[in-house]
Amino acid sequence: MCGIAGAAGKNPEASIQMMLEVIKHRGPDGMGMFSLGEVTLGNVLLKITGDKSQPIHNKGALTYNGEIYNFRDIARKRDLRTDSDSEVLFGMIESNGVEAALGELDGDYSFAFASDGTIQLARDPAGVKPLYYGKSEELFAFASEKKALSAIGITEISSLRPGHMLTYCDGRLIEKKVTGFVRGERITDENLASDALFNAIEQAVKKRIYSPCAIAFSGGLDSSLIAALCPEAELYSVGMAGSHDIIQTKKAAVLLGMENKLHLQELTVDDVVTALPDVIRAIESTEPQKVSIAMPLFFASKNAHNDGLRVMLSGQGADELFAGYKRYESLVPDELENALLCDLDNIAKNNLERDDAASMANSVELRVPYLDREVVELALRIAPELKIKNGIRKHILRLAASRLLPEELALKEKKAAQYSSGIYSAIEKLARKNGFNGEHVASKYLEWIK
C-alpha cells in the first residue's frame, strides 16, 4: 500500500516532490521518484507485501498502490521468484501491456505505467483504491489524493472511474472501461446461495488476513462475521460515551468470545473538537454525514497504528450488495436490484474514497472482503427476493453468517453509522454551542472549522 503521483509537462520533478510531501502519510517507509523524458513518477511506500522500492523501472516505469492477492500464482506461472506484487505487475505489463495485465489481476489497486511519453492509469473494478487526475496549462498530473493535485495548482480534478483505464499522450486523454463484474446465472435457491456466499466470504477474508491484523468493529452483522472468520485479529471500535456502538461492540465481543481482543475508545466532546480539522483535511469534505462516518474510522486506524498494526479489515460493501439500508425495504424485486446496482456503481465515490483517506491518514491500509471479486459477482447472481425476505434486510447474508455467529448477532438490525457512534449528534451540539442556528447547523459549523 502506498501513495502514488505522477506528472508530464513542464518541470514535473518539482511538482512530484511537492505532491509526495502532501501525501507522505500514506507511505512512511520510503519515497522514490523516476523520470523518463518529460514524465516523472513518484511513490511513498507503506511496506505490506514485499520489499521492492518504487517506482519500478526498466524500459518503462510503474508506480503502484494496492494489493494483488493472486500475485504468487501469477509469479509461479511466469517462473518469477519474488515476494513483491508490484514486481509481478511490472513484469506482466512489460510483457503484455496494461490492458492484458488487468485481465489477470485479483486485487484492489490503482497504478500508473509510463513508457515512450505515454502514461496509462488504471483502477480496480470496485474502486477500492483511489486515483485522481487533472490538467493545467503546463501539466498533466495524477495522485492518490486530491489535495496533492491542489498543492500544485490543479483546480479541475477528476476521479478515475472504477474498472477504467486512462491514457495520456501528447496532451490528449482517452478513458475506457477495461474491467468489471460479470453477472452470471441467477441463483434463487436459498440453501445454495447461502452455502456459496459463506464460502466466498470465508475465502475473501482469508486472502486479506495479515499478521498482525485489525478489524474496524461496530458489533453489527458485517464486522462480526469478519471477526468470527479472523479470530486472531484485534478489534477496534470508537464511539461517544454511552452511544449505541459502545454498548453493542462490548456485547458482540463477549458473544464472539473476543472480549480480550477489543480496543474500545469512548470519545469525549473535546476529542471530537480536536479531531475535526484532521478528519476534514483527510477526507477533504465538510459534509456532516461524511465527517461523522469517517471520524470513528480515523480514530480506530490511529489506535491500530499506535499499536503497530498496518492492515485493517472493514465490512464496507455488504449493505450495497445484500440490501442493508432501510431505504431498500419498500422496493419491489426489480427496483431493489436496480438500486443495488446503482449503489455498487457509486460505492467508490460515496464511501470507499472517504474510508481510504480516513485510514491512510494514519498509515493503515484498509481491506474490504465484501468487495472481493468473487463475493461481488456471487451477490449479483443472488435473487433480490433472497436479500430482503419477510421484511428482513440482508436475509441471505444473515443466513450465511448464522453458521458462525450467535443468533443475536446474525439477526442484529443495522443502525446508520453516523448516528450509532453518536458523533453526528455531538457535531450538531457543538454547532449550536458555537452560535450556529437554523437549518444545516452542522454544515455551517464544519465549514467554519475548516
Digit-coded pLDDT (tens) for 27-50: 998 999 999 989 999 999 888 766
Strand partners for 206: none
Catalytic-labelled residue, pool 2, 169, 230, 342: 2
In the chain, the amino acid numbered 433 is: K
Q: Residue 420 above 90 pLDDT? A: no
Residue 82's pLDDT band (boundaries 50, 70, 90)?
confident
- Going by pLDDT thresholds of 50, 70 and 90, the confidence category of residue 419 is confident
The pLDDT value given to residue 414: 67
* pLDDT recorded at residue 49: 67
pLDDT at 418: 65
CA angle 9, 15, 17 (to 5 degrees): 135
29-61 burial, b at 16+ Cβ within 10 Å, e below that, comes to eebbbbbbeebbbbbbbbebbeebebbbbeebb
Residue 41 to residue 83: CA distance in whole angstroms: 23
The question of whether 2 is a catalytic residue gets the answer: yes
Model pLDDT, residue 438 = 82
Residues 143/357, Cβ–Cβ less than 8 Å: no
Tell me the three state secondary structure of residue 179: coil
Q: What is the pLDDT of residue 222?
A: 97
pLDDT at residue number 416 = 67
User: Rounded distance, CA 130 to CA 122, Å?
Assistant: 10
- 1 has pLDDT over 70: no
What Cα–Cα distance (Å) separates residue 116 from each residue in 5, 37, 38, 56, 132?
A: 18, 8, 10, 15, 22
Q: Which of 95, 171, 94 is nearest to 139 (CA)?
A: 171
Cell numbers standing for residue 162: 472504477
Domains plus CATH for the chain?
Answer: 2-177 (3.60.20.10), 190-433 (3.40.50.620)
Strands 39-45 and 262-267: unpaired
DSSP output for 330-369: T--HHHHHHHHHHHHHTHIIIIIHHHHHHHHTTT-EEE-G
Contacts of 212 (CB under 8 A, 6+ apart): 233, 234, 308, 309
Compute the mean pLDDT over every residue in the chain, rounded to the nearest whole number. 95
Tell me: the pLDDT tens digits for 334-366? 999 999 999 999 999 999 999 999 999 999 999
Q: How many alpha carbons lie under 13 Å from residue 8 in its C-beta half-sphere? A: 23
With 90 as the cut, is the pLDDT of residue 263 above it? yes
Supply the pLDDT for residue 186.
97
Give the amino acid at 1.
M
pTM exceeds cut of 0.85: yes
* Percent of the chain residues topping a pLDDT of 70: 98
